[in-house]
Structure 1
Amino acid sequence: MKATVNWREGLVFDATSGSGHGVTMDGNKVDAASPMELVLMAAGGCSSVDVVSILEKARQQVSGVRCEVNGERADAVPAVFTKVHLHFVVSGHNVAEKHVERAVALSADKYCSVAKMLEASVTITHSYSIEEE
């Protein structure tokens, strides 16, 4: 897996993945998300992929999954994440709580590569809620 990051101007950078997809980053958070914000988004995205896949395999009638990610950072430099919490809001029709609980647990304990990588130095917690449609 590869990526390239090119400086545009100021603290703005354009990144391109090995598969050809791009994203812009801004250290000042003016023109784009910062690299640290992208880390949170990556954790939420990775876990969300797992949760949706697992719920679909369980034949749950899911119409939406939102992952609200909150991160706390150290006060000192480097301001690494110390805690990350992922809260999944699953919406659908007759979605069984046991399936959502299992999907979130499997993502956290087994499948999400981003969260597994972070957990070596970050306390990661998970929660969920279900909204009936």
Structure 2
Amino acid sequence: MKATIDWTGNAGFKATSGTGHEIQMDGPPDHGGENLGPRPMEMLLMGLGGCSSFDVMSILQKSRQDVTACQAELEAERADAVPAVFTKIHLHFVVTGNNLKENMVKRAVSLSAEKYCSASIMLEKAGVEITHSYELRAN
């Protein structure tokens, strides 16, 4: 896996993935940024959410659950000192569908957290406390 990061001026950077996808990152105005994109730490948090959501949906689809929407809401706390690393992250999954089985959703979230989500497992090994919850919604 590869990526390149190109400075675009002030506190802005263009990130390009090895597969050719681009995203603009930027710093806050008080650090010279123009607020043109997410902060790098926000990207890390979004990456964790995407990684875990990918796992949860894959498991639910293989379990033949009729999911019509899945949203992961992430909330993170950071250290007050530099480096301002993540100390706690909570992922809350809102899974909407038809005749969803709660035990299947619980299993999918647990498997992602404990076995499949590389981002989550890596951050936990770095000392970040990661918790998960879920709720089911019917169509």
Q: Confirm or deny a common fold (TM above 0.5).
A: yes
2:76 to 71, 74, 90: 71
- Structure 2 unaligned runs (5+)? none
Q: What's the CA shift for 1:19?
A: 1.0
TM-score, normalised with respect to structure 2: 0.94
Could you list the per-position Cα deviations for residues 38-91 of structure 1 after superposition, in whole angstroms to 9, with x for gaps in the alignment?
Answer: 111001000000000000000001000000000000000110000000000000
Runs of 4+ in 1 over 6 A off after TM superposition: none
> What is the aligned partner in structure 1 of residue 60 from structure 2?
55
Give the structure 1 partner of residue 138 of structure 2: 132
CA shift for structure 1 position 27: 1.9
Equivalence for 1:11:
11
Shift of 1:23: 1.1
Aligned length: 133
User: Alignment RMSD, CA only?
Assistant: 0.8
Does 1:93 find its partner at 2:98?
yes
2:87 corresponds to which of 82, 85, 88: 82
Give 1:105-120 correspondences, 5 Å limit. 105-120=110-125
